[in-house]
Amino acid sequence: MKRTPAQYTAVAAFVAAALAAGVAFGRAALDGESRRDGALLAILRPDYTGDSLGAPDFTLRDREGRTVKRLPTVHRRAQRRHPRV
């Protein structure tokens, strides 16, 4: 059976489409793996902007009307980044 040029063109187009689909799948898989690797680091040690900042000092009145001042505290994550020697 003799093949026509249209059949060769159809086979070439099918092979090209299959190759493009395979490459797209491979890129999607690599992208997913790179995101998964980054997610592990984010879970173990997130670093947020301004994470070491605390609330400003302020005073409040208690039930008897006495003034109570908030004591400054160091944020937990800031303590972990700068351990005592």
Using one digit for the tens of pLDDT, what is the confidence trace for 15-55? 999 999 999 999 999 988 887 777 777 677 666 666 677 77
CB 69 within 8 A of CB 59: yes
Model confidence, pTM = 0.43
Segment 58-83 shows an average pLDDT of 69
- Cβ–Cβ < 8 Å for 52, 75: yes
Domain borders along the chain are: 5-81
How far apart (Å, rounded) are the C-alpha atoms in residues 85 and 77? 16
Q: Are 70 and 57 in contact (CB under 8 A)?
A: yes
3-class secondary-structure state, position 60: strand
Assess contact for 54 and 75: CB atoms under 8 A.
yes
- Asked if the model's pLDDT at residue 85 lies above 70, the reply is no
CA distance 2 to 78: 77
